[in-house]
Structures are given as structure tokens and as C-alpha cells.
A and B are shown apart, each in its own frame.
Chain A
Amino acid sequence: DAGVTQSPTHLIKTRGQQVTLRCSPKSGHDTVSWYQQALGQGPQFIFQYYEEEERQRGNFPDRFSGHQFPNYSSELNVNALLLGDSALYLCASSPDNQETQYFGPGTRLLVL
């Protein structure tokens, strides 16, 4: 049973560019959450998707947007990249109405 997968593993972009990160949830999981983990910090909640809708959102600007597909996979899009967007982006999945979230290996984004 494959766990949560994310792609790409690493990414380098320049300021002002746009980036798309992808996540496939664990089998049987229909809820996907995204977190940003800056260097030396704990993960910060970005948003959560369920039934292709954004259900919860953290304190992130509108430059951060997402999407969930009918197969429950998800994308995180970041527009107008800033140096401060450099971080490890983690995807987590869970079955609806279950408390435990399972994390993928993350995508490390470097903005130059």
C-alpha cells in the first residue's frame, strides 16, 4: 500500500515565477492538507481540500492556491514567488472524519 507521494522532490525557481506542486494521497484517503515548513521551524497549515473544495485555510496570502481532483490527488500553486517562500512543502492525507494525518516526504522549494 503506497503512502502519500509528492512530486517533484526538489525545485529551484526565481523570484516572480510560479510553481505547482503535486500530491497523491494514501489509498482510501479523500482529504488532503498542505503545510509549509520553513528551515528550523514547525510546519504551518496552508489549506485543506475535501470533495474538490477548499474546506479550511490558514494564514497564507491568495498567492497560494490549490486544487483537488476527482481521484483525490491535489496540487498546490504559488504565484509571484518570493524569497521567503523557500521551504519544505508537505502534503498530508486522511480519511474524512478521521483525526490522524499521514505525511508525504515533501517537496523542497528554493527561490533565488
Chain B
Amino acid sequence: AQSVTQLDSQVPVFEEAPVELRCNYSSSVSVYLFWYVQYPNQGLQLLLKYLSGSTLVESINGFEAEFNKSQTSFHLRKPSVHISDTAEYFCAVSESRVFGNEKLTFGTGTRLTIIP
């Protein structure tokens, strides 16, 4: 069984400041890792994912995350945040298998609040 821990339930950050949202996972097998973002009263949107290859993955809106196998972490970072980044961020893990579509296991989320 897998599990995901997002230690920070809320993170307030000043606009244009950097931010890091922490994610640690536990699994006995190889995994795929995902970050999803949820804006108020909306569903989940995929932000970025790690499947294989380069351990540093980037999104189109300036976020990046680095897969660290030894520390079982997949922290999300952005060098300069904007008001529009205010949202709930969820880290998720699935088992990597020959066939995809494994269920996602989510963390409890981190609410990112940008302070003007």
C-alpha cells in the first residue's frame, strides 16, 4: 500500500516570493508521482508529473518538482508566486506497472495563499 504525506496544511506566501510545498510518499514498489491543483469550487487539474527519466519536471506556469528517490520526496517549487496561484495543491502517487491506470493515492492537500 502507498501513502502520501503533505506536512503543511496551509502555506501563506507574499506575492513574488518563492514557495516550496512538501510531499513525501511511502511505497514498496516503484511509483509515478503527480501534483494536482484545485481552485475554489472546481475539480482537479494536473500540474505536473514524474513517470521516468529526468527527476526534475516542470509545468507550463513556472512550477517545478524534483523526484528524490532516496528521500522519497516530490516537493513542488516556484521561484516567484502570483495571486493567481492561490489554490489547494495535492500530491498523489500511483504504482508504476507495465499497464497504467493504477489508482491514485492523494495527500491531504496544502492550501497556498498568496499575500499581496
| Chain A contacts to B: CB under 8 angstroms | 4, 6, 31, 33, 35, 40-45, 48, 50, 55-56, 58, 90, 92, 94, 96-106
CB distance from A71 to the nearest CB of B (A): 18
Q: Taking each of B32, B101, B107, which has the highest tally of chain A beta carbons within 10 Å of its own beta carbon?
A: B101
CB distance from B115 to the nearest CB of A (A): 22
Distance between Cα atoms of A56 and B34 in the complex (Å): 20
Q: Taking each of A40, A97, A99, which has the highest tally of chain B beta carbons within 10 Å of its own beta carbon?
A: A99
Report if B63 contacts A (CB, 8 A). Answer: no
Given the complex, which residues of A lie within 8 Å of B101, measured CB to CB? Answer: 31, 33, 48, 50, 55, 94, 96-99, 101
Q: How many residue pairs between the two chains, A and B, have CB atoms under 8 Å in the bound complex?
A: 71
Closest 10 CB pairs of A and B: A42-B106, A103-B44, A45-B103, A99-B100, A105-B43, A103-B43, A106-B43, A97-B100, A98-B100, A42-B108
A42-B107, A105-B42 given as contacts; is B36 within 8 A of A100 (CB)?
A: no
| Chain B contacts to A: CB under 8 angstroms | 4, 32, 34, 36, 42-46, 49, 51, 90, 92, 94, 96, 99-109
Given the complex, which residues of B lie within 8 Å of A35, measured CB to CB? Answer: 104
Given the complex, which residues of B lie within 8 Å of A92, measured CB to CB? Answer: 44, 104
Q: State which of B4, B90, B104, B105 has its C-beta within 8 Å of the C-beta of A101.
A: B104
**CB-based contact A99/B49 at 8 Å:** yes
6 intermolecular pairs with C-beta atoms under 8 Å apart: A42-B4, A45-B103, A58-B103, A94-B100, A103-B43, A104-B43
What residue of chain A has the Cβ atom nearest to residue B108's Cβ?
Answer: A42
What residue of chain B has the Cβ atom nearest to residue A90's Cβ?
Answer: B43
A43-B90, A50-B101, A94-B101 given as contacts; is B49 within 8 A of A100 (CB)?
A: yes
Given the complex, which residues of A lie within 8 Å of B102, measured CB to CB? Answer: 56, 99
